Structure 1
Amino acid sequence: MNVGETAAAELYQSACGGTFQLDPAVARECAAHFLRFADSLDPHLGQSHRIQTLTGFGALDSSRQLSRGFESKAVALTATLTTLQSNALAMAAAYLLSAGLIQQTDETRSRALLSARAGL
């Protein structure tokens, strides 16, 4: 599943290289959209973590298999949501960097690293 990793990396590299530049106000507004999206994923990440361990399916072998199947899907969902969140933060950082907003870029990149680490 393509969740924007390549686009985020390319945009950030373009901002680093100076080929992608924006007015600071525009960059802040664009970054704010990605930051809101990243924040909106937090409750979904919490729920996907909680459903990685399920109970109540019974003791039959088929019940345990069903439970493990759902748990496996929850793990995959968590990984996808974590990657989406990390990429949204990377896009926000790229927009901020494109306007030379270095401190905000660093803060957003730090948040992306913490988000990725929390998903491990």
Structure 2
Amino acid sequence: MAGRLGDRRGPARLLVPGLALAVAGMAAMALTGSAAAVIGGALVFGAGFGVLQNATLALMYDRAPAGGELIVSAIWNTAYDLGMAGGALLAGLVVTSAGYPLTFLLTAAAMLPALALAVKER
């Protein structure tokens, strides 16, 4: 669905909604006393994350010179994998002292600066 919307309206227009969903979902998961909030938050976060995966890769392809698709794919996948690994490592270190609710809130807060860049990109 994100791909279809990106094709129709441009992938840059999906950055703000994708980030907003990811931030809202992560913040909702901080409500660990409620199974519904955690599960719902995970679903909302996942939807936003999926939109962002599609939109960022499509933006990179759009900006690459003809024949640069392999390089774009390598850069995007490397950044994705390193980001996931680094984020998981950092979250694991924080969660041991701060707990899950605060770790989820800190993660949501860490995504907020990207909203300013996404707004500028539109």
TM-score range, shorter chain: 0.3 to 0.5
Q: Which has the higher helix share?
A: 2
TM-score scaled by length of structure 2: 0.45
TM-score scaled by length of structure 1: 0.45
Q: Which has the higher contact order (CA 8 A, sep 6+)?
A: 1
